[in-house]
Amino acid sequence: MTEVLELAKRLMAAESVTPATGSVFDRMEAMLAPLGFEVHRFTRGEGAPGTPEAPVENLFAIRRGPEGSKHFAFAGHLDVVPPGGGWASDAFEPEVRGDLLYGRGAVDMKGSIACMVEAVKHVPQDAGTISFIITGDEEGPALHGTRALIDYMRETGHQPDLCLVGEPTSVNRLGDMMKIGRRGSVNIWLEVEGTQGHVAYPHLAENPIPKLVAMLAELDALVLDEGNDWFQASNLEITDLEVGNPAHNVIPEAAKARISIRFNDEHSGASLSEKVITIAEKHGGKAMPIISGEPFLTPPGTFSDIIARAVKEETGVNPEPSTTGGTSDARFLRAVCPVIEFGLVNATMHKRDEAVAIEDLSTLSRIYTAIAKDALA
């Protein structure tokens, strides 16, 4: 119990708001190297700091099992979201109060990474190959994080057979939920251009607002699907509406809006973009989509059974296989191998006074040990 707690505190004490750099990776490397892992660190991206193209630090570590053995990977991120104000203790000075460990990253997700490190101590090297796929940019643009790690694994022939992402998926108590998939996400910027003019002379102008309103009404009325066995129904939300016209007697020259679609595996980012572009053009406007992730599903089967068994054994709980919530780096990793997410209770993630139950850290590390052993068997 104390060992995994110390590991979590050491990682949390290294301030690492996205993109994480330097000391938090030094600490991770210092934990893995003595356990027989070859640690490879690299930086990808050449843009200016603060831009999506900014450099991102990544770490891939591998401990090889016997020739021909299976390869199981733990994946996660060492970056955290900014702490914000009002914490009862310093967000980057992890503090134990009562049964809880407080600090940014306690559940999302340095706590789980500490559990992974503790877990591998209890998996014999001859059980098989284990790797860590760790990025410093999951909470940000994620352009040069896990995607760059996947490139590296492909170049070096180190693709795992199964991958567990340690995002905090539990809801009310440790073990009650795993994510076997995630919805996709596309954000679309809409614009209608008109002709500016005097409201008293509308025949000399062209008002873009009624066109945009009609476009949004049609989009808002779309029923994309009814959901299916593993996914809730896809949903389109209007997230912004902007004209910015300060004058009461001017017909504006342009009107803009933005929508966000979270979609299941009955669509792709491209098929939805196409649908919205067609509707936008019909109303005299245009649509500019940015796809931030495609949906994925690892259908219930061998891998989810391995996780469910380990969770049940340690907690007595049957984890519900779910596809709810936002996107995660599993959306990239699924291109390499079957991937499922399972981790700590997410009630305080991204919040002030983020905290993890100390007991959960030791339980999760035992669950991770059991999953790794079973996955390699």
Catalytic residue among 57, 108, 138, 294: 138
Structure tokens given for 231: 């996914």
Shortest Å distance, C-beta 355 to Zn ion: 15
Binders of Zn ion among 276-295, rule CB under 5 A?
A: none
Q: Which is nearer to Zn ion, 272 or 307 (CB)?
A: 307
Nearest approach in angstroms of CB 179 to Zn ion is 12
Nearest-angstrom CA–CA distance, 110 and 24: 10
Nearest distance in Å: CB 167, Zn ion: 5
Q: Does residue 108 carry a catalytic annotation?
A: no
Near Zn ion by CB under 5 A, which window of 90-98, 106-114, 181-189, 268-276? Answer: 106-114
If one counts every other C-beta atom within 10 angstroms of the C-beta of residue 43, the result is: 15
> Residue 154 or 352: which CB sits closer to Zn ion?
352
* Alpha carbon 353 to chain centroid, angstroms: 21
Report how far apart, in Å, the C-alpha atoms of 246 and of each of 20, 147, 243, 251, 267 are: 42, 44, 9, 10, 40
- Nearest-angstrom CA–CA distance, 233 and 268: 14
Q: Which window, 34-42, 109-117, 198-206, 211-219, contacts Zn ion (CB under 5 A)?
A: 109-117
**Nearer of residues 176 and 206 to Zn ion, judged by Cβ:** 176
Please, are residues 314 and 172 in contact by the beta-carbon 8 Å criterion?
no
Q: Are strands 162-165 and 71-77 parallel, antiparallel or unpaired?
A: parallel
Q: Cis bond leading into 300, ω under 30°?
A: no
Residues 141-200 that bind Zn ion (CB under 5 A): 167
246 three-state secondary structure = coil
Q: How far, in Å, CA of 203 to CA of 54, rounded?
A: 49
Of the pair 121, 350, the CB lying nearest Zn ion is at 350
Q: Binding-site residue total for Zn ion (CB under 5 A)? A: 3
Stretch in the footprint of Zn ion (CB under 5 A) among 32-40, 105-113, 203-211, 236-244: 105-113
What does the per-residue mask of binding to Zn ion show for 221-260, with x meaning CB under 5 A? ----------------------------------------
Supply the DSSP symbol for 109: T
Q: How far is the CB of 333 from Zn ion (least distance, A)?
A: 13
Figure out which of the listed residues 57, 79, 108, 118 binds Zn ion, where binding follows CB under 5 A.
108
Which residue in 287, 336, 315 sits closest to 133, CA to CA? 336
Q: What is the DSSP string of 155-195?
A: HHT---SEEEE----BSSSTTSEEESEE-EEEEEEEEEE-B
Report, in Å, the least distance between residue 303 CB and Zn ion.
20
Q: Is 297:272 a contact under the CB 8 Å cutoff?
A: no
Q: Residue 365 corresponds to which tokens in the numbers above?
A: 């590390």
- Using CA atoms, how far apart are residues 291 and 188, in angstroms rounded to an integer? 8
Q: Name the one range near Zn ion by CB under 5 A: 102-110, 119-127, 211-219, 262-270.
A: 102-110
The answer to whether the CB of 113 falls within 8 A of the CB of 104 is no
Q: For residue 255, count other CB atoms closer than 10 A to its CB.
A: 25
The two counts, helices (H) then strands (E), for the chain are: 9, 19
* Residues 13-42 interacting with Zn ion (rule: CB under 5 A): none
Nearer to Zn ion, 8 or 109 (CB): 109
Catalytic one among 79, 167, 314, 354? 79
Q: How far is the CB of 108 from Zn ion (least distance, A)?
A: 4
The answer to whether residue 109 forms part of the interface with Zn ion (CB under 5 A) is: yes
Looking at the Cβ atoms of 109 and 123, the one nearer to Zn ion is 109
Q: In whole angstroms, how close is the CB of 77 to Zn ion at the nearest point?
A: 6
Which of 103-111, 222-230, 249-257, 305-313 is the region at the interface with Zn ion (rule: CB under 5 A)?
Answer: 103-111
Q: Which residue minimizes CB distance to Zn ion?
A: 108
Annotated catalytic residue 155: no
Question: Hey, which residues are catalytic here?
Answer: 79, 138
Residues that bind Zn ion (CB under 5 A): 108-109, 167
